[in-house]
Chain A
């Protein structure tokens, strides 16, 4: 008897399955949450463009998720996605990429897209390491961790990427972990249905190239750690920075309406076209 077909198999490029994520990788959870999110809100993948960069998590849309896909250069997916969105504002444009891509080499594109509040949904899978290339330090790696390029110890503090994106002006920002798969899925639905720049930082596990450097060899160890360290943002109001030092603040960091970039630009173009037409008619 053949295995029953998974209900979400229609959302992935079935012909290239099985996927190539390492055993225990958080990317599987993110792909799962993402396809569930798309199905849950009846989003037609034919009306989506998924954009990614270089890194393990960029494989979630490219090649796995079945929609129009733009697999770009390292760090640049948000900039490519900007071009797509400006010319096809009617399509849902989603960027799924890693912390090295989005917050490291592509950090500048991230803050400017957030500032413009362009209607993109950016799901940044943060595994705190450059996993694909073999475990080099990332801008999100905690201080003290030994990596292949910080063999003695990492002396740099990590980026709090979601907070950065809030400060830069994004409409919607949330942080979840792969332990929080259901709220993550709902958050993705929020991101893809609302207008404006939506950013979800997804704290994820890389047992292969990060876990073994910090003594978490199994995915389950990570998930336990995420569960223990996670604290809902609502509960952090009266807590000091010191108390929150080792915690992962989860939940919705901001949700606000701001003028959206593609809308504003198309409005401007419509005004200019109408203005020209009116002046031509006036001139006879």
Chain B
């Protein structure tokens, strides 16, 4: 996908520069570098800064940003716009993310590329409205009803809020699916340095285009091509179970089986291509204890690991950049010689359950709720308790 002149004109002022900005703002700029065409959102702390910056900047790049009446409508609007060929995004936090689940399911079922940013905050319900958490990890995976697969990425710095949103747009187009940027209120609301890339250095993925409207929802490939609206192709898009040509068939078991398994498999079978992790292994001794973390929690977690090593203790560290699909082979490989795996996360233990499924060692959840992130000390203490 090539950026048009308006986008290039806009981005030329930013490329190569270093800014000291919020994670939310970095996410918004990342979307602009990704070639965002259309944004629809609804205000919510701690995600509003994304909508605010996009509302200010996107028109300058030739795009459209609107505020809808709620999050249901925001999600609906970005899916509708996606079928015109636009790169589209919305941004919200937990309560809004709950409301979006309905149409995230629709986007999955209709294979509509789009990006959903969830700046997670403390819940359930209104919870500690302005405070960070990582309580939507499993909602991101299973929030919408029915069998499905999902891609979700979690940034652990302001720079990564920028970098990963770019990646989200590409994954959405490549796999024709909604992709979730699972930020948290912590990375969203701190300011750090961000280096903006040169526009020419970015390779934007393109959507595959189908030859005939009869193949927009099936065919030989796991990911069929799209045909955008307005080309006289009578494309039929439905959230109901459908045939390769988009026509409803909600009664034939085989039709549902083929459709849902393909939609599931296109992510499952490309797991190794999609998944990214960051490993920090102890190079001195073979560790028996490891720490797995992600998002904002990964920062104090890594600090704790480094502090333990400084005390002569051997500890391995794995950070999940991709949350979903779960990095099962990477986690299993990381943990194969470990007796104990600690999983610090800003919830009562959500991803730790997933870790348990793929390791033989003991998994120890290091939960943190209350609207504050872990301190380095509390994870350090947890590590020192189990390390010999």
Contact = CB atoms under 8 A, between A and B. Distances in A.
Given A72-B239, A82-B80, A276-B9, A87 B69 contact: no
A19 to B, nearest CB: 13
Contacts of A90: 230
A62 B238 contact: yes
Interface of A is mostly: helix
Interface string A240-284: 000000000000000000000000011011011101110010000
B52 interface: no
Interface in B52-86: 59-64, 66, 68-70, 72-74, 76-86
A194 interface: no
B312 interface: no
A83 B76 contact: yes
Given A69-B235, A87-B86, A63 B64 contact: no
Interface in A74-109: 76, 79-84, 86-88, 90-91, 108-109
A148 interface: no
B266 to A, nearest CB: 22
A84 B84 contact: yes
A36 B73 CA distance: 31
Interface string A150-185: 000000000000000000000000000000000000
A218 interface: no
Given A83-B76, A83-B82, A71 B239 contact: yes
A90 B230 CA distance: 9
Nearest to A84: B80
B264 interface: no
Contact of A269 (B63, B102, B230): B63
A14 B208 CA distance: 28
B160 interface: no
A232 interface: no
A71 B82 contact: no
A269 B64 contact: yes
A275 B60 CA distance: 8
Contact of A84 (B60, B83, B246): B83
A142 interface: no
Contacts of B230: 46-47, 49, 68, 88, 90-91
B85 to A, nearest CB: 8
Contact of B59 (A80, A82, A109, A268): A268
Interface in B79-96: 79-86, 88
B59 A272 contact: yes
A73 B103 contact: yes
B287 to A, nearest CB: 49
A108 B234 contact: no
A268 to B, nearest CB: 6
A137 interface: no
Contacts of A82: 40, 66, 68, 73, 76-77, 80
B52 to A, nearest CB: 15
A83 B80 contact: yes
Closest 7 CB pairs of A and B: A83-B80, A46-B232, A83-B77, A79-B76, A83-B81, A79-B73, A71-B238
Interface of B: 6, 9-10, 13, 37-38, 40, 59-64, 66, 68-70, 72-74, 76-86, 88, 102-103, 106, 229-240, 246-248
21 contacts: A13-B234, A68-B83, A69-B237, A71-B248, A73-B76, A73-B103, A76-B102, A80-B76, A80-B77, A82-B73, A82-B76, A83-B78, A83-B84, A84-B83, A84-B229, A87-B37, A91-B230, A109-B72, A269-B62, A273-B10, A276-B60
Given A84-B80, A87-B84, 16 more contacts: A46-B233, A47-B232, A62-B248, A63-B247, A63-B248, A69-B246, A71-B236, A72-B76, A76-B103, A83-B80, A83-B88, A86-B64, A86-B66, A87-B85, A269-B63, A273-B6
